Structure 1
Amino acid sequence: MKNWHVDDVMTQAVVTVTEDTPYRAVVDLLIRHRLSAVPVVDDFGRVTGVVSEADLLRKIEYAGDEKPRLFEGRRRRGERVKADARTAADLMSSPAVAALKGTPIAAAAREMDREGVKRLPVVDDLGRLVGIVSRGDLLKVHLRPDDDIRRDVQEGILHIYLADGGPRVEVTVQDGLVALKGHVDRWSSADIAKRLTRQIAGVVGVVDELEYDYDDSNIHGTGIAFGAA
């Protein structure tokens, strides 16, 4: 069973700017390429920050508002500084929220949600840019063919984790919805099959119609560790 990472869905040809890129040039790049943000890289290709549409809009938001307000917070003061920015170095949010190459797509999705960003630069161990992944890219896993998902369930789960290899279990997949129907030796086997199937890339849901001979649900632990990808 393949574990999907940001490397599998990221865009490798990334539009970037340098720290000395002028404000208007950044605006032009975002509009021309229909982007919401662009990574800022140094001479070695390392990501030093990200400039987003929100960063650029500070110049409009604070236009004509030269004096800081009384008791203005730190965040507002930072936004006001960006309103006077002329280059990417002054505009960018730094350090950049990025994903290390090899990050599972589930972890990348959680990072996007936690940080409230729409895309993540993907970097190598030295911080050099190797790609960029967007929310839309992460959703690509749900375009996987049903036959590929069925094969993952049969070969990556049933044949490995069920004592008899799962010959009595029928797997059907329709638009990413997996149905498991048949017979297994015990409740824990059915539970393992169901839980691991949910973790397969592209699965939108699992219909559990498995029957079992022995109910071991009261025995703690199944011998399998389930970690969040």
Structure 2
Amino acid sequence: MSIRIVGEVMTDEVVRACPDTSFKELARLLTAHRISGLPVVDDDDKVVGVLSQTDLVRRQAGRRRRPSAVAGVQGPWSRPPRRHPRLPHAPTAGALMSSPAVTVHPEQRVVDAARIMERRRVDRLPVVDAEDRLIGIVTRRDLLRVFLRTDETLRAEVMDMVRARVPEPVRDEVRVQVRDGVVRLECPAREDVDTTALLRAAWRVDGVVGVTCGPAVTPPDRR
């Protein structure tokens, strides 16, 4: 049985930013590389946050919502205008990023990475090594490719898995059907066949989106 891991589907050439990367440079990086987000790393290449287009848009929207000064007659209670107004500092990646970053390791299963994305509501996961240094990135699009595997490929892998877990005399009695990623197992009703274990193992095949068990197949009369 083949189980895909993050290291097999990740992109190892990663566009990254530093905490002091300016807003304008961040916008340029996202546009030039046609990406919707990127990791932010420190001087040791360790991931300190993740920044997305949404973070940039939210920043701009927040600036536009700020109320402007109301023009009117200056009174004794009003503050005198500053002769040398202080210019606002341009926002940087360190101020805009989401931190701490949600990361994965290359040996983790693709399906586990997909669950992390769904649970944390993120579209990308930086991939880090044992020392938390950036080595790649995986996106929802990368993970989706695993679930586009053909039914024929899934059936072959499930069949190999089943035959390795049932006694040899009954291997030919096991039936496996796959349609749109949903596996249907039909196994003989025997004490030495653990149907529950077979169902769990079928779920572990990458690309399987559902598993059902059909009616037990009665072994043929061998008398």
Larger radius of gyration: 2
Say if 1:186 and 1:212, in contact at 8 Å, map to a contact too. no
1:61 CA drift (Å): 2.0
Count of aligned pairs? 198
Equivalent in 154, 160, 167 of residue 164 of structure 2: 160
Q: How does 1:28-47 map to 2 (within 5 A)?
A: 28-47=28-47
Say if 1:161 and 1:193, in contact at 8 Å, map to a contact too. yes
Letter in 2 for 1:38: L
1:211 CA drift (Å): 1.2
Say if 1:186 and 1:213, in contact at 8 Å, map to a contact too. no
Q: How does 1:1-229 map to 2 (within 5 A)?
A: 1-63=1-63, 65=66, 85-156=90-161, 158-164=162-168, 166-181=171-186, 183-186=188-191, 189-211=194-216
Q: Deviations over 1:87-117 (max 9, x none)?
A: 2222222221111222222322222222221
Letter in 2 for 1:140: R
Q: Distance in 1 between matches of 2:188 and 2:112?
A: 34
Say if 2:166 and 2:192, in contact at 8 Å, map to a contact too. no
Q: Deviations over 1:149-208 (max 9, x none)?
A: 22221222x222212362211223344233333534249623322232122111133342
Classify the secondary structure of the residue corresponding to 2:63.
Answer: coil
Q: Deviations over 1:95-151 (max 9, x none)?
A: 211112222223222222222211111111111111111122222111223333222
The answer to which structure, 1 or 2, has the higher relative contact order (CA under 8 A, 6+ apart) is 2
1:38 CA drift (Å): 0.8
Identity in percent: 38
Listed as ranges, the gaps of 5+ residues in structure 2 are: 69-87
Residue equivalent to 1:225: none
Indicate how the Cα distance of structure 1 residues 121 and 48 shifts in structure 2: closer, same or farther if over 3 A, else same: same
1:33 CA drift (Å): 2.5
Say if 2:186 and 2:217, in contact at 8 Å, map to a contact too. no
Say if 2:22 and 2:90, in contact at 8 Å, map to a contact too. no
Q: Distance in 1 between matches of 2:211 and 2:120?
A: 30
Classify the secondary structure of the residue corresponding to 1:143.
Answer: coil
Letter in 1 for 2:8: D
Indicate how the Cα distance of structure 1 residues 66 and 121 shifts in structure 2: closer, same or farther if over 3 A, else same: farther
Q: Distance in 1 between matches of 2:111 and 2:148?
A: 16
Classify the secondary structure of the residue corresponding to 1:12.
Answer: coil
Q: Distance in 1 between matches of 2:120 and 2:211?
A: 30
Q: Deviations over 1:37-91 (max 9, x none)?
A: 1111233322121111222123322225279xxxxxxxxxxxxxxx965322222
Which protein is richer in strand relative to its size? Answer: 1
Q: Distance in 1 between matches of 2:30 and 2:186?
A: 50
Calculate the TM-score normalised by the size of structure 1: 0.74
Say if 1:10 and 1:131, in contact at 8 Å, map to a contact too. yes
